[in-house]
């Protein structure tokens, strides 16, 4: 009889352990109506805690992101009005992209069948590659690698240098060369061909005029040799980015020395005058031609 009682006691303990294990194992899947009030309160408290923690993180991230937000700057950016043109309208404008991010970094100018002239700032972000001509043309769309880079000293830029990017592939189907201009016609308009604010199939195009006595230009030129820099006044609020092209009479005169994003603050932009390095460019068999006005 005693053995039977021990057996029943052992069986009861084993059943209780199995039930407890079963309860723990099915805790998540247990129907709501079958839960105790304590269990319901615990779950509700857990969900509320998770929700509050998540909202706190979101609010903190938003605060950190917009802590330095400038409403005036935002409104200024909204008012930016750029005249956009198709990239294939200017096949001498090369788009320089980052290899790692594929982001459009800046522009260069096709100055020979194999070479692109650019601001040295364009290569400071790491390896680059070129996109030329019509972006829908399969031959051009694939882009071109850089086979060699040659530095050309120029005191009209922050880096004190321009760079000649060379690719030895056949790029004729995707390019059109532009000759380097020697003379400036102060009476005629200039055109600035620039990197667009967004997208990769357009370029910005804006008109500019020459004014050697502009006060802003004189202030900017304190950091440069004024004889090696061209400063112009732009029309509108479109940004000028480092490396943008300054063209007059279908001749390339300069590459933007630096970026000017706040067009509401100044309408002056300065460019490295390419006539200063015409001897160096001729050494690379690049055409230099005087403007005939």
| Residue 156: predicted pLDDT | 85
Of 19-23, 210-214, 264-268, the range with the lowest mean pLDDT is 19-23
User: Is residue 196 over pLDDT 70?
Assistant: yes
More reliable by pLDDT, 90 or 15: 90
Torsion angle, CA of 262/268/269/275, rounded to 10 degrees? Answer: 180
Spatial contact of 190 and 246, defined as CB atoms under 8 Å apart: yes
Sorting pLDDT into bands at 50, 70 and 90, what band is 214? low
**In-domain check, residue 201:** yes
| Residue 34: predicted pLDDT | 65
- The whole-chain average pLDDT of the chain stands at 79
| Residue 222: predicted pLDDT | 58
| Residue 106: predicted pLDDT | 92
Give residue for tokens 């779950």: 43
Q: Are strands 202-210 and 190-194 parallel, antiparallel or unpaired?
A: antiparallel
User: Is residue 271 over pLDDT 50?
Assistant: yes
| Residue 3: predicted pLDDT | 46
Domain count, the chain: 1
**In-domain check, residue 21:** no
**In-domain check, residue 125:** yes
Sorting pLDDT into bands at 50, 70 and 90, what band is 71? very low
Of 8-22, 158-172, 231-245, the range with the lowest mean pLDDT is 8-22
| Residue 228: predicted pLDDT | 85
Question: Which whole number is the average pLDDT over 253-281?
Answer: 84
Percent of the chain topping pLDDT 70: 71
Give residue for tokens 């006595």: 213
**In-domain check, residue 57:** no
**In-domain check, residue 42:** no
**In-domain check, residue 43:** no
| Residue 33: predicted pLDDT | 66
More reliable by pLDDT, 170 or 236: 170
Spatial contact of 183 and 190, defined as CB atoms under 8 Å apart: no
Spatial contact of 148 and 264, defined as CB atoms under 8 Å apart: no
**In-domain check, residue 274:** yes
**In-domain check, residue 52:** no
Q: Is 293 exposed, middle or buried (0-12, 13-18, 19+ CB in 10 A)?
A: exposed
Most confident option among 79-88, 173-182, 219-228: 173-182
Provide the CATH number for the domain around residue 213. 2.40.10.120
Say how many C-beta atoms besides its own lie within 10 A of residue 273's C-beta: 26
Domain range for 232 is: 84-288
3-state secondary structure the chain: CHHHHHHHHHHHHHHHHHHHHHHHHCCCCCCHHHCCHHHHHHHHHHHHHHHHHHHHHHHHHHHHHHCCCCHHHHHHHHCCCCCEEEHHHCCCEEEEEECCCCCEEEEEEEEECCEEEEEHHHHCCCCEEEECCCCCCHHHHCCECCCEEEEEECCCCCCCEEEEEECCCCCHHHCCCCCEECCCCCCCCEEEEECCCCCCCEEEEEEEEECCCCHHHHHHHHHCCHHHEEEEEECCCCCECCCCEEEECCEEEEEECCCECCCCCCCEEEEEEHHHHHHHHHCCCCCEECCCC
């Amino acid at each position: 009889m005693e053995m039977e009682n021990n057996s029943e006691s052992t069986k009861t303990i084993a059943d209780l352990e199995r039930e407890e294990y079963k309860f723990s194992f099915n805790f998540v899947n247990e129907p709501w109506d079958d839960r105790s009030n304590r269990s319901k309160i615990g779950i509700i408290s857990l969900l509320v805690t998770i929700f509050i923690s998540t909202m706190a993180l979101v609010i903190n991230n938003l605060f950190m992101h917009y802590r330095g937000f400038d409403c005036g700057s935002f409104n200024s950016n909204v008012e930016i009005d750029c005249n956009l043109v198709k990239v294939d309208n200017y096949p001498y404008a090369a788009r320089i992209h980052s290899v790692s991010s594929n982001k459009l970094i800046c522009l260069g100018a096709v100055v020979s069948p194999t070479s692109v002239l650019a601001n040295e700032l364009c290569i400071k972000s790491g390896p680059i590659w070129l996109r030329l001509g019509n972006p829908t043309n399969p031959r051009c769309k694939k882009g071109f690698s850089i086979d060699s880079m040659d530095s050309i000293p120029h005191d009209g830029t922050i880096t004190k240098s321009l760079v000649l990017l060379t690719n030895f592939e056949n790029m004729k189907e995707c390019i059109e060369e532009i000759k380097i201009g020697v003379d400036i016609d102060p009476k005629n308009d200039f055109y600035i061909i620039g990197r667009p604010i967004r997208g990769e199939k357009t370029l910005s195009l804006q008109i500019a005029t020459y004014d050697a006595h502009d006060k802003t230009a004189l202030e900017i030129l304190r950091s440069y040799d004024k004889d090696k820099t061209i400063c112009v006044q732009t029309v509108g609020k479109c940004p000028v980015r480092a490396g943008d092209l300054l063209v007059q009479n279908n001749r390339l005169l300069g590459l933007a020395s630096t970026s000017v994003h706040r067009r509401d603050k100044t309408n002056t932009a300065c460019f490295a005058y390419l006539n200063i390095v015409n001897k160096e460019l001729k050494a690379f068999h690049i055409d230099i031609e005087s403007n005939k006005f």
